[in-house]
Amino acid sequence: MTAILNLAIVLAAAPLLIGVINKTKALMAGRVGPPLVQTYYDLAKLFRKGTVLSSTTTWVFLAGPAVSFVVALFAALLLPLAGTAPLAFPGDMILFVYVFALARFFTTAAAMDTGSAFEGMGAARELTFASLAEPALFFGFLALARVSHSLELSSVLAVSGTAWRSSTAALVLIVASWFIVLLAENSRVPFDDPNTHLELTMIHEVMVLDHSGPPFGLVLYASAMKLFVFAALVAHVIVPRFAHPLTNVAATLGAVFAIGVLVGLVESVMARLRLVRVPQLLITASLVSAFAVVLVLR
């Protein structure tokens, strides 16, 4: 039951999150901007379109979008969007990280499958930055697990008010570093510029250059959902847990869109970092969350 609910929420709300971000950026830039639901239009259009494949590619090229799509949905099932997660068991947060790693494996492999210089470059960057982001994510989990004395996402993310009071600093640090990870994992500014047109600067976008039609739709949808899931992850840490599932959903959604707005703000006030700076920022994020661990341990 909750499973269907989770899937429904993610499938439905993820594109809207993108819309929120773009809208925020537009407003900040003083433009009207595309409608909030623009992403739905794009997806619908893409799924109606035909597909052209590179003659170089093999089935791996198509596995990329498919896997990332499934994985995003799967990750949604691990989140306690409605109070408790459909798939909850001790150690599920490890699975949560590793399914995204699986998706990364296939998206990057798909990129290399085209045998193009740009897409290989994108893949290389994706791999590099992700391997720096992963420790940050895990340090966060470690700290939260310590705080909540549990290994289940549902309870780990249900940070009680007492916990907030007792170890505020640590939790703030975690939220901060996870927000950075969110930006990196979903290749937003300052790590990557989703709507740049200079391939040399891109990470995620450049990897999917050769996708078209439904597969490309899947790619877009998957990345939207991934963003949503990460936003939800951060949101859960912030918002308190309510008794009624639907209240929970509402609260979570609210927080998620708030984060979307925040992302939009960041993107409109910041410029892309030079690539050499990116690792430094990510390592900083790791150190921040590592410090959080130290805080909760003593």
- How far apart, in whole angstroms, are the C-alpha atoms of residue 288 and residue 186? 20
C-beta closer to other proteins: residue 131 or 195: 131
C-beta closer to other proteins: residue 222 or 255: 222
Q: Which residues, 105 to 124, sit near other proteins by CB under 8 A?
A: 105, 108-109, 112-121, 123-124
Stretch that binds other proteins, among 56-64, 166-174, 238-246, 265-273 (CB under 8 A): 56-64
Nearest in space to 45 (alpha carbons), one of 23, 15, 65, 17: 15
- How far apart, in whole angstroms, are the C-alpha atoms of residue 144 and residue 155? 10
User: Min. distance of Cβ 13 from other proteins in angstroms?
Assistant: 21
Longest Cα–Cα distance of the chain, Å, equals 59
Stretch that binds other proteins, among 139-147, 177-185, 224-232, 260-268 (CB under 8 A): 139-147
Site map for other proteins, 266-285, x if CB under 8 A? -------------x------
Among 2, 54, 201, 268, binds other proteins (CB under 8 A): 54
Q: Are 222 and 68 in contact, with CB atoms under 8 Å apart?
A: yes
Q: Which residues, 169 to 198, sit near other proteins by CB under 8 A?
A: none
User: Min. distance of Cβ 64 from other proteins in angstroms?
Assistant: 9
Among 14, 17, 75, 145, binds other proteins (CB under 8 A): 145
What amino acid occupies position 143? A
Q: Which residues, 62 to 91, sit near other proteins by CB under 8 A?
A: 62-63, 65-67, 69-70, 74, 87, 89-91
Q: Are 10 and 76 in contact, with CB atoms under 8 Å apart?
A: yes
Total number of residues that touch other proteins (CB under 8 A): 75
124: helix, strand or coil: helix
- How far apart, in whole angstroms, are the C-alpha atoms of residue 233 and residue 55? 39
Q: Which residues, 207 to 236, sit near other proteins by CB under 8 A?
A: 209-210, 214-215, 218
- How far apart, in whole angstroms, are the C-alpha atoms of residue 40 and residue 212? 16
- How far apart, in whole angstroms, are the C-alpha atoms of residue 98 and residue 88? 15
79: helix, strand or coil: coil
Among 104, 188, 226, 241, binds other proteins (CB under 8 A): 104
